[in-house]
A and B are shown apart, each in its own frame.
Chain A
């Protein structure tokens, strides 16, 4: 019996068709792509970008007595670079704006507007919303715009994501944001979404370094954020600030892994002549075992003062249980040294 061949339309094509339909159905009445006069542009004070220079400065020139003169002058230089590419090849992506009375308020694309004015353009292509995009929708627009740009710092990107999540939770209720959900909201790839999530919850030292522009790459930041031991993390962070590559950072972390979780294979290797320097604590699929060990140790008078640390552990979760067990070993090691 032969199976009858079934014909069809390729998945890519059906996806393309339904996407076009969805775009029209979801957006046609909400915004329109058009051309707006630059003379009627206003900047949005709530934009997540952090430019100091404003429309007035660009239209009328900088004033020496301006308290932000230096910063603005620097920004102006960068805008001029953009202006010269706009002069030669125009603005590639339309800006996003919404109508506010006589004016168009820029939601995304203020640099393009400012640079277009510098380039002596009169008009700019825009996606104009009929009304101010609100909450999550607004943040999403800004996010989509910003992902297309290269000059945005890691700190600004993380700020965007944080806003986006906040608005999302505001609108749809406080739900835990998983990487998959974040991927869904932002159309980031899953690894990227995972990276952002771990960086969002980064310890203070890492966060500061990102804020100060000392850590600029997302994958490095995510890698550092994932290090459990404070000591190793500090080492990796310093290395990163001093320009270590991803590979070098990975080495530092590999050392941590050796310390905290001995791979089973070590035993075999040891047999083959290596001198074992550590003991493998083994692994189990039964979290109750871990809970039992931890609780028996804590019931010991020497250790019950540590109980508080373990009060929040969700024992049915492997990651929690693993971390708790490592913590216990750490405590025991410290206590034994004394």
Chain B
């Protein structure tokens, strides 16, 4: 089972967009049984596939809807409130992924309040309570039996949540806009990658697929910064040869009422679809070959 995460502690660089593209490419185009995980308290990724609800306990945050399999008269469900998010891993409870409109894609949604609580765990406890939980969950036999790929969307942070993603992932991609601040975010992620790489057994390395230029525009700023990264001999190996341009469709497809729902529903000749396919195919090739 391959576990791919999109990380960058700078916000708004396309982590969710890429997670979505990747999850849909793997499940819809490649028909690989895929689990999407939303590890961001903002729950943007979840909201793409589920009707997330406002959490009465924390009105500024979202929580997952009632699970379709939940039945009040089922005696097995007596201790369950009917909602299940990925954050249950921090509370010792089972995670019940939700089906999505795509046959091969399931989703373990976020839960704002509970994820924020994990992010805020005291430093002395964080290792036991947060860091290893996601890896433990993904290593469990039923998860490994059910899915061949896991796609994780992460929060714009370097905190405990992102660290636990680093510990659980087999591959990471760093989407970034070719501008000063997002590139600084790359630095934050390379630090985490380095820490994790140096802590791992050598037979299961954390592979950095690379930096994925996103929202790329043919401006001097974007071109110069990309060139600067490509010209550095150490960094250039990790600048992906594919990229996503700034295209209004990528933003429009996020809308709740978007039709079609997936970029892969567009016609073969659509440039955005071609670009998305090229990026996803490249990453898939790197991960699965």
Chain A interfacial positions (CB closer than 8 Å to B): 4-9, 13-14, 16-18, 20-24, 27-29, 31-34, 127, 130
Do residues B229 and A23 form an inter-chain contact, with CB atoms below 8 A? Answer: no
Can you name 12 A-B pairs with beta carbons within 8 Å? A8-B225, A13-B187, A16-B187, A17-B232, A17-B235, A18-B235, A20-B190, A21-B235, A24-B197, A28-B200, A32-B202, A33-B195
Establish whether residues B228 and A32, one from each chain, have CB atoms under 8 Å apart when the complex forms.
Answer: no
Q: Judging by beta carbons under 8 Å apart, are B187 and A20 in contact?
A: yes
Question: Is the C-beta of B73 less than 8 angstroms from some C-beta in chain A?
Answer: no
Judging by beta carbons under 8 Å apart, are A32 and B198 in contact? yes
Query: Does A9 lie within 8 Å of B190, measured CB to CB?
Result: no
Q: How far is the CA of A29 from the CA of B201 in the complex (A)?
A: 8
Q: How far is the CA of A7 from the CA of B179 in the complex (A)?
A: 9
Taking CB atoms, residues of chain B closer than 8 Å to A9 are: 180, 183, 225, 228-229
Which residues of chain B in 183-234 are interfacial with respect to chain A, using CB atoms and an 8 Å cutoff?
183-184, 186-187, 190-191, 193-195, 197-202, 205, 208, 220-221, 224-225, 228-229, 232-234
Contact A7 B225 (CB under 8 A): yes
Q: A18 CA to B221 CA in the complex, in Å?
A: 21
Using CB atoms, name the residue of chain B closest to A7.
B224
The interface residues of chain B lying within 8 Å CB-to-CB of A22 are 234
Given A9-B228, A17-B190, A18-B232, are A28 and B205 neighbors across the interface (CB < 8 Å)? Answer: yes
A156 nearest CB across to chain B (Å): 28
Q: Is the interface of A mostly helix, strand, loop or mixed?
A: mixed
How many Å from the CB of B113 to the closest CB on chain A?
Answer: 32
When the two chains form their complex, are residues A17 and B220 in contact, meaning their CB atoms are under 8 A apart?
Answer: no
Given A22-B234, A28-B198, 14 more A-B residue pairs with CB atoms under 8 Å apart are A9-B229, A17-B187, A17-B234, A20-B187, A20-B190, A21-B190, A21-B237, A23-B194, A24-B193, A24-B197, A24-B208, A31-B198, A32-B201, A32-B202
A127 proximity list for chain B (CB < 8 A): 198
- Identify which of residues 30-50 in chain B touch chain A, using a CB-to-CB cut-off of 8 Å: none
On chain B, the residues within 8 Å of A32 by CB distance are: 198-202
Tell me which residues across on chain A come within 8 A of B184, comparing CB atoms. Answer: 13
Most buried by B among A4, A22, A23, A34: A23
* B238 on the A face (CB < 8 A): yes
Q: How far is the CA of A22 from the CA of B208 in the complex (A)?
A: 13
Give the A-binding residues of B (Cβ under 8 A).
Answer: 180, 183-184, 186-187, 190-191, 193-195, 197-202, 205, 208, 220-221, 224-225, 228-229, 232-235, 237-238
Complex CA distance for A33 and B228, rounded to whole angstroms: 32
In the assembly, what is the distance between CA of A33 and CA of B127, in Å? 14
Nearest A residue to B222 by beta-carbon distance? A7
- Cα distance A16–B191 when bound, in Å? 9
> 5 closest A-B pairs (Cβ-Cβ)?
A18-B234, A7-B224, A20-B190, A8-B228, A28-B197
CA distance A46 to B234 in the complex (A): 35
Do the beta carbons of B198 and A33 come within 8 Å of each other?
yes
A24 touches B221 (CB 8 A): no
Q: Which chain A residues border B224 with CB–CB below 8 Å?
A: 6-8
Chain B residues, CB < 8 A from A27 = 198
B245 CB to nearest chain A CB (Å): 18
Neighbour of B220 across the interface among A7, A13, A23, A33, CB < 8 A: A7
- List, in ascending order, chain B residues with CB within 8 A of A23's CB: 194, 198
Inter-subunit contact A34/B199 (CB<8 Å)? yes
With A6-B224, A9-B183, A28-B205 given, is the CB distance from A20 to B232 under 8 Å? no
**Complex CA distance for A258 and B247, rounded to whole angstroms:** 76
Q: In the complex, which residue of chain A has the Cβ closest to the Cβ of B237? A: A21
How far in angstroms is the closest Cβ of chain A from B132? Answer: 13
Q: Which of B197, B232, B238 makes the CB contact (< 8 A) with A14?
A: B232
Residue in chain A with minimal CB distance to B179: A7
A9-B180, A23-B194 given; A17·B202 CB < 8 A: no
